[in-house]
């Protein structure tokens, strides 16, 4: 890897850390920990203060400033190396200007006492810097300018605009201390349209309070800010769904007999290093470039060509088996190893929801109910995908491809355990948990299995929402509601799912290609998937720090999250820079142990 590429990646990593630390400073109310700038009470290092809390806030603020200064120096190095290499000069110059602008906003944030417009602009500037660095990093790996992205550029641009607006609204909510204006969800103070004052809610050039003296806005104005942020979140989801649908339709993979098509012209291949053609060279060199381009496309088409599925790849005659063997087959149908992890995270969610001990009735009935419904969803998944399971080496041992159970027996077994699980949840836990479990069942057995998995390589990302629900179910079983803490547990598993499953898909690519399943390594290649594993692992690392940031956990969990996350990031780096199927297999296995250990650390920290 070139020095310039390594410098860009290091700068991107530091920018990510600066954004996360900045959020922590804001959430811990340390934004004014140092009332002057650039020093802190006139000193480069915060001096000892009588108030320990003020001293801690000063260190947080100065730590963030020093990290931001280091980022500025790295961006200067990036700019000078861009000038030297004569590549991405405009983008590097824009980053230098942006870091100067960010430093100015940081100064104004302190000297103007957290003026909402300044705080929001500072947030947008940080996100813009992170986005530009991602763009610069992608240029180093030739993911920018690919002709395959043209069909989705307009939806992506609309989604970008919507995301910027939503981030700005989020910053406005935080800057005006409107986060708790609506304490319930999905309504606001029990109403869909509570009393709101939009006239005072969105005055951009004003102080923190409407009179200019620093006090909070009226309740109705805070409600208007919070409510607008919620409603626009739905708009962003709709736009993101539209962009995802366009991207899915643009995918050139067919489930039976199709081929992956790389429409890259020779010029694109030349930039990728596939041939050395340039516009000014002679006819012979251009002819060589065309031959190399044609050979490259032929190799890609051959690599991603899917064999057709056999007309009847499963046994049509059920094997003669004893009742005990049938029970074993039914048990295997529930994917017990997967269900055990689901139940484990659900039980952790129960214990985290209460400072004491979980009532024995809720613990037993909730655990059994969630396990039974999860097993029913797994059985439906096996039933729908029995032809795919028969083709794939990893799954051909399952009961249905081997002819150990009939469709009727599978449906009867699924209805029995699923119905029993829902009855236990409704009768001995609470109706909310039962309905959330029904939604989870539909999300996995129907939305993911029937709709997403055969249609889009983003199936794991979108469908991961159903797999992330167990701790929310456990939390709702104890408290009867879904709180912010429960959604943090959801977010951890949601961010964990892509690197976990794509690690498996990387060393099972041929299996998925043979079965015609559009997994990301099949549709976009292993190199792109390895980058996604790395990026999602970094996102996961940041997300796992949130329980400590919101004071849901303490130092013990923070240490475990950093240590476990560092190992996961190390595996992801090995996947990207030194890939082998063995490394991908080790990463997949570690990801399972990682999630279990992380939730166990949450539990231990909760009771210590």
pLDDT of residue 57: 81
Interatomic CA distance for residues 83 and 92, integer angstroms = 9
Average pLDDT, integer, range 107-115: 70
pLDDT of residue 285: 59
Q: What is the pLDDT of residues 412-468, one digit of tens each?
A: 888 999 999 999 999 899 999 999 999 888 888 878 887 777 777 878 887 788 888
Is 392's pLDDT higher than 70? yes
pLDDT of residue 206: 60
For 44, 275, 511, the CA distances from 37, given in Å and listed in that order, are 10, 53, 58
- As a whole number, the mean pLDDT across the chain is 79
pLDDT of residue 597: 93
pLDDT of residue 207: 57
- Which residues contact residue 187 at a Cβ distance below 8 angstroms, ignoring those fewer than 6 apart? none
Out of 67-71, 281-285, 362-366, 519-523, pick the least confident.
281-285
pLDDT of residue 549: 86
pLDDT of residue 283: 57
pLDDT of residue 595: 92
In contact, 561 and 604? CB cutoff 8 Å: no
Evaluate the omega torsion of the peptide bond into residue 283 and state whether it is cis, within 30 degrees of 0: no
pLDDT of residue 301: 43
Higher pLDDT, 311 or 208: 208
Max CA distance (Å), the chain: 85
- Which residues contact residue 1 at a Cβ distance below 8 angstroms, ignoring those fewer than 6 apart? 577
**DSSP per position, 511-570:** HHHHHT---HHHHH-HHHHHHHHHHHHHHHHHHTTHHHHTTSS-HHHHHHHHHHHHHHHH
Task: Give residue for tokens 């922590």.
Answer: 24
Banded pLDDT at 199 (limits 50, 70, 90) = confident
Banded pLDDT at 600 (limits 50, 70, 90) = very high
pLDDT of residue 560: 93
pLDDT of residue 280: 46
Q: How wide is the angle at C-alpha 606 spanned by C-alphas 601 and 607, nearest 5°? A: 110
Average pLDDT, integer, range 262-284: 45
- Which residues contact residue 241 at a Cβ distance below 8 angstroms, ignoring those fewer than 6 apart? none
pLDDT of residue 490: 92
**DSSP per position, 73-114:** HHHHHHHHHHHHHTSSHHHHHHHHHHHHHHHHHHHHHHHTTS
Out of 125-129, 174-178, 203-207, 360-364, pick the least confident.
203-207
Picking from 236, 246, 238, the residue whose alpha carbon sits closest to that of residue 152 is 246
Q: Give the relative orientation of helices 360-384 and 336-352 as an angle to the nearest 10 degrees.
A: 150
Banded pLDDT at 303 (limits 50, 70, 90) = very low
pLDDT of residue 288: 60
In contact, 149 and 38? CB cutoff 8 Å: no
- All domains of the chain in start order, with CATH: 3-241 (no CATH), 266-303 (no CATH), 323-607 (1.10.600)
End-to-end CA distance of the chain: 45
Is 187's pLDDT higher than 80? no
pLDDT of residue 569: 93
Q: Which two tokens stand for residue 429?
A: 């836990």
Q: Give the relative orientation of helices 526-543 and 484-507 as an angle to the nearest 10 degrees.
A: 160
pLDDT of residue 398: 78
Banded pLDDT at 150 (limits 50, 70, 90) = low
Average pLDDT, integer, range 75-79: 87
Using CB atoms within 10 A of its CB, is residue 234 exposed (0-12), middle (13-18) or buried (19+)? Answer: exposed
In contact, 518 and 255? CB cutoff 8 Å: yes
* Residue/partner pairs of 590-597 with CB below 8 Å, 24 or more apart: 591/496, 591/499, 591/500, 591/503, 592/341, 592/500, 594/496, 594/564, 594/567, 594/568, 595/341, 595/345, 595/493, 595/496, 595/500, 596/341, 596/344, 597/560, 597/564
Interatomic CA distance for residues 208 and 229, integer angstroms = 18
Q: What is the pLDDT of residues 470-513, one digit of tens each?
A: 999 999 999 988 888 899 999 999 999 999 999 988 988 888 88
pLDDT of residue 317: 47
Is 139's pLDDT higher than 80? no
Q: What is the pLDDT of residues 203-220, one digit of tens each?
A: 766 655 444 444 567 888
Out of 74-78, 138-142, 310-314, pick the least confident.
310-314
Interatomic CA distance for residues 327 and 585, integer angstroms = 31
In the chain, % of residues over pLDDT 70 = 82
Three-state DSSP string of 322-368: CHHHHHHHHHHHCCHHHHHHHHHHHHHHHHHCCCCCCCHHHHHHHHH
Enumerate the active-site residues: 61
Q: Which two tokens stand for residue 290?
A: 């065309």
pLDDT of residue 237: 84
Report helix, strand or coil for 468: coil
Q: Please indicate, yes or no, whether the overall pTM of this predicted structure exceeds 0.85.
A: no
């Amino acid at each position: 890897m070139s020095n310039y590429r390594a410098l860009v990646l290091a700068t991107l990593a530091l920018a990510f850390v600066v954004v996360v630390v900045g959020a922590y400073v804001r959430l811990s109310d340390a934004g004014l920990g140092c009332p002057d700038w650039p020093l802190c009470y006139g000193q480069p290092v915060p001096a000892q203060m009588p108030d320990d809390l003020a001293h801690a806030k000063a260190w947080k603020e100065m730590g963030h400033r020093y990290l931001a200064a280091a980022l500025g120096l790295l961006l200067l190095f990036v700019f000078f190396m861009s000038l030297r290499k004569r590549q991405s000069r405009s983008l590097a110059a824009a980053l230098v200007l942006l870091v100067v602008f960010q430093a100015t906003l940081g100064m104004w944030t302190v000297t103007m006492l957290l003026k909402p417009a300044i705080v929001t602009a500072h947030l947008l500037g940080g996100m813009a810097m992170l986005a530009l660095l991602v763009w610069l990093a992608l240029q180093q790996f030739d993911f920018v300018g690919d002709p395959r992205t043209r069909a989705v550029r307009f939806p992506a641009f609309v989604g970008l605009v919507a995301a910027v607006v939503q981030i700005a609204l989020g910053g406005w909510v935080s800057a005006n201390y409107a986060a708790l204006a609506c304490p319930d969800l999905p309504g606001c103070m029990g109403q869909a349209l509570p009393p709101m004052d939009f006239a005072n809610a969105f005055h951009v050039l004003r102080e923190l309070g409407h009179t200019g003296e620093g006090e909070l806005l009226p309740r109705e104005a805070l409600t208007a800010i919070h409510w607008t942020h919620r409603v626009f979140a739905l708009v962003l989801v709709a736009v993101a769904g539209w962009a995802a649908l366009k991207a899915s339709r643009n995918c050139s993979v067919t489930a039976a007999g199709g081929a992956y098509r790389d429409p890259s012209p020779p010029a694109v291949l030349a930039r990728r290093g596939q041939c050395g053609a340039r516009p000014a060279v002679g006819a012979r060199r251009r002819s060589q470039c065309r031959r190399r381009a044609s050979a490259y496309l032929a190799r890609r088409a051959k690599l991603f060509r899917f064999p057709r599925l056999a007309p009847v790849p499963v046994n049509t005659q059920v094997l003669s088996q004893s009742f005990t063997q049938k029970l074993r087959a039914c048990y295997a149908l529930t994917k017990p190893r997967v269900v055990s992890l689901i139940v484990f995270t659900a039980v952790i969610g129960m214990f985290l929801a209460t400072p004491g001990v979980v009532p024995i009735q809720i613990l037993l009935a909730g655990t059994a109910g969630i396990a039974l419904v999860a097993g029913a969803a797994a059985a439906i998944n096996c039933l729908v995908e029995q032809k795919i399971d028969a083709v794939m080496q990893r799954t051909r041992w399952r009961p249905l491809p081997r002819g150990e159970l009939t469709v009727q027996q599978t449906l009867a077994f699924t209805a029995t355990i699923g119905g029993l699980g829902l009855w236990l949840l409704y009768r001995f836990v609470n109706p909310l948990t039962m309905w959330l479990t029904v939604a989870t069942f539909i999300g996995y057995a129907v939305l993911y299995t029937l709709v997403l998995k055969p249609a889009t390589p983003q199936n794991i990302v979108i469908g991961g929402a159903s797999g992330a629900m167990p701790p929310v179910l456990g939390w709702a079983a104890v408290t009867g509601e879904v709180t912010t803490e429960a959604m943090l547990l959801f977010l951890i598993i949601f961010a964990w799912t892509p690197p976990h499953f794509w690690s498996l898909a990387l060393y099972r690519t041929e299996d998925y290609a043979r079965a015609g399943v559009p997994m990301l390594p099949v549709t976009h290649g292993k190199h792109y998937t390895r980058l996604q594993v790395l990026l999602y692992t970094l996102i996961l690392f940041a997300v796992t720090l949130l329980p400590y940031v919101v004071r849901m956990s303490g130092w013990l969990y923070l240490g475990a999250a950093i240590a476990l996350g560092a190992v996961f990031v190390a595996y992801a780096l090995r996947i990207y820079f030194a890939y082998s199927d063995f490394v991908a297999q080790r990463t997949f296995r570690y990801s399972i142990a990682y999630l279990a250990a992380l939730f166990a650390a949450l539990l231990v920290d909760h009771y210590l």
